[in-house]
Every structure is written in structure tokens, then in C-alpha cells.
């Protein structure tokens, strides 16, 4: 099993990893904001960004041919997005 495709610069894997990092930073900032200010109205937005981050993870895992990790990421993404939409 080769992991050479994980860090392909200039490909779609690099773009997905960048998007995953951006969504993770946004979710982390929203979580920190809600913990510091005790305003929990931003939690659905945080969950939404976590769900999108997990979706990007699943797509990148599927591109690298790791189907088990991709299925777990997609399942977690669907659950988190459902909870996010339900709590709006």
C-alpha cells in the first residue's frame, strides 16, 4: 500500500486537504467563541463546518482508495450534518 498520493501537490487531494483545514479552523474558532462567551447559538454553525470537514475527509480518503475510512467519514458527516440541520 503506497501513501505517495496523500501529499500530491497541485492535485485535488491538496485542495481537499486545504479545504478540510479551513473548515477545521472555522469550527475551532466557533467552538472557542461559544466556550469563552457562553453563547451557544453558534453551535449549529460549528456542527455544520465539522460535517463539511468530515465530508472533505471522506472524499479525500476515497480518492486514496481507503474505502473503510471513507465510509466512516461519510457516516459521521451525515450524522453531524443531520444534527446541525435539526438544531437550527
pLDDT at 49 over 90: yes
pTM (predicted TM-score) = 0.83
Does residue 1 fall inside a structural domain? no
Does residue 69 fall inside a structural domain? yes
Q: Of 70, 28, 72, 17, which Cα lies nearest the Cα of 50?
A: 28
Does residue 83 fall inside a structural domain? yes
Does residue 3 fall inside a structural domain? no
Number of domains, the chain? 1
Domain that holds residue 78: 9-87
Query: Minimum mean pLDDT among 1-10, 22-31, 38-47, 53-62: which range?
Result: 1-10
b/e 29-53 (16+ beta carbons within 10 angstroms → b) = ebbeebeeeeeeeeebbbbbbbbbb
Does residue 4 fall inside a structural domain? no
Does residue 17 fall inside a structural domain? yes
Amino acid at each position: 500500500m503506497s501513501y505517495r498520493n496523500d501529499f500530491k501537490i497541485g492535485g485535488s487531494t491538496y485542495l481537499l486537504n486545504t479545504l478540510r483545514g479551513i473548515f477545521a479552523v472555522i469550527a475551532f474558532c466557533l467552538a472557542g467563541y461559544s466556550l469563552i462567551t457562553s453563547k451557544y447559538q453558534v453551535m449549529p454553525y460549528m456542527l455544520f463546518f465539522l460535517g463539511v470537514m468530515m465530508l472533505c475527509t471522506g472524499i479525500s480518503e476515497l480518492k486514496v482508495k481507503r474505502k473503510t475510512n471513507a465510509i466512516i467519514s461519510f457516516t459521521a458527516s451525515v450524522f453531524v450534518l443531520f444534527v446541525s440541520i435539526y438544531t437550527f
